[in-house]
């Protein structure tokens, strides 16, 4: 039995449907499917739940992380840690499976790790409904594309799952392969035939903005993740996370955070010295309990920007932009507070950041 895990957030439900339809056509049905909805908004959640009702082999779970950055590792680990099957496969919601994928995967050596070459479809080809072998492939993936992995559950648990440090996009799959290899497991790239097709979608790199947006982002996060991966390789690390890996923010955590956020928040300005003090002194020493903060642009910020243009004296008060505050605070959360229950939200008018956290 192979467990197939789909991590999902705010993606086209019809792409998921197309992927699951290809699984329903498998010549070998010794598989089960887990769809982990990692904090999608209400409209996408309603839509994906409607799609999943059509497929009896799907197990569905919702993770209450609507106001947290995307974390594929946590989504996968939330299922992986409790799996009883022998092997699992990391799926992409945009993947189309060849009808004999499960049959072939079931014959591969069970104590080894396999990942697969993928055929990428164009935007126009993705819109068509064809039999698997009739699709026209635009290009194929190379061994650097490590996302679609078939792994022994025992091996994955031995290295403590996917590293939950990685947020947004980039490197968590390669990190998993690196640690497995460094732990002595064999990892193979299967390219004998194209067994998987990737439906077109806009990439994260194209969505990344240099300005503050309602959608949570950090500038240069992909490069930061790559550097973290480089250190994993240099240190020959095998284990990820702490013993508490696989734990997720539940409904009770989320409800308590919302209740706290509705109370009076501690105001914080975007003055550089205020933000630096908050990050390096106040946050680390918070007492046990819930805390809410609201960071807004100081009234003197516009005057400060005008002052720069006029090149006036350098001893004026310095301010961070809210984009700079956003990047600094999210980096701190990822590095030091990712295992704490928290909510992080940018206001609709992009003039404030609301942050609620429970410190143990």
C-alpha 113/C-alpha 89 separation (Å) is 10
C-alpha 189/C-alpha 36 separation (Å) is 26
The whole-model pTM stands at 0.92
pLDDT tens digits, one per residue of 131-180: 999 999 999 999 999 989 999 999 999 999 999 999 998 899 999 999 99
pLDDT tens digits, one per residue of 60-94: 999 999 999 999 999 999 999 999 999 999 999 99
pLDDT confidence of 278, banded at 50, 70, 90?
very high
> Between these two residues, 103 and 207, which has the higher pLDDT value?
103
What is the average pLDDT score of the chain?
93
Q: What is the mean pLDDT of residues 15-22?
A: 97
Give me the pLDDT at residue 310, please. Answer: 47
Task: Indicate whether 205 pLDDT > 60.
Answer: no
- Show the beta-strand stretches assigned E in the chain: 2-8, 31-38, 58-63, 87-90, 95-97, 113-116, 118-120, 139-140, 149-152, 187-190, 196-198, 266-269, 289-296, 342-346, 352-359
Task: Assign residue 350 a region (left: φ > 0; alpha: ψ between -120 and 50; beta: otherwise).
Answer: left
> Between these two residues, 308 and 223, which has the higher pLDDT value?
223
Q: What is the mean pLDDT of residues 247-267?
A: 93
């Amino acid at each position: 039995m192979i467990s197939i895990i789909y991590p999902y957030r705010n993606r086209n439900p019809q792409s998921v449907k197309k992927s699951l339809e290809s699984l329903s056509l498998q010549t070998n049905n010794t598989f089960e499917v887990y769809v982990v909805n990692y904090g999608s908004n209400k409209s996408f959640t309603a839509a994906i739940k409607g799609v999943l009702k059509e497929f009896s082999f799907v197990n569905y779970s919702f993770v209450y992380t609507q106001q947290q950055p995307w974390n594929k590792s946590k989504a996968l680990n939330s299922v992986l840690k409790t799996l009883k099957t022998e092997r699992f496969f990391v799926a992409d919601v945009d993947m189309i499976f060849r009808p004999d994928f499960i049959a072939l995967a079931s014959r591969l050596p069970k104590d080894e790790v396999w990942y697969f070459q993928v055929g990428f479809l164009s935007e126009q080809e993705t819109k068509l409904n064809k039999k698997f072998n009739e699709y026209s492939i635009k290009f194929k993936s190379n061994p650097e594309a490590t996302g679609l992995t078939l792994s022994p559950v025992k091996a994955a648990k031995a290295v403590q799952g996917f590293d939950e440090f990685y947020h947004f996009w980039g490197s968590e799959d390669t990190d998993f392969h690196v640690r497995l290899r460094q732990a002595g497991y064999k990892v193979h790239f299967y390219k004998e035939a194209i067994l998987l097709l990737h439906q077109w979608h806009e990439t994260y790199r194209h969505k990344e903005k240099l300005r503050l947006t309602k959608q949570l982002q950090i500038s240069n996060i992909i490069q930061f993740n790559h550097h973290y991966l480089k250190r994993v390789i240099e240190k020959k690390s095998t284990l990820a996370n702490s013993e508490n890996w696989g734990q997720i923010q539940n409904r009770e955590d989320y409800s308590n955070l919302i209740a706290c956020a509705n109370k009076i928040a501690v105001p914080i300005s975007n003055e550089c010295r205020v933000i630096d003090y908050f990050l390096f002194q106040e946050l680390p020493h918070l007492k046990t309990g819930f805390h809410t903060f609201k960071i807004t642009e100081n009234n003197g910020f516009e005057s400060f920007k005008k002052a720069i243009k006029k090149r006036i004296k350098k001893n004026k008060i310095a301010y961070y932009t809210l984009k700079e505050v956003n990047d600094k605070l999210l980096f701190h959360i990822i590095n030091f507070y990712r295992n704490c229950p928290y909510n992080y939200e940018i206001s609709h008018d992009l003039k404030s950041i609301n942050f609620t956290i429970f410190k143990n």
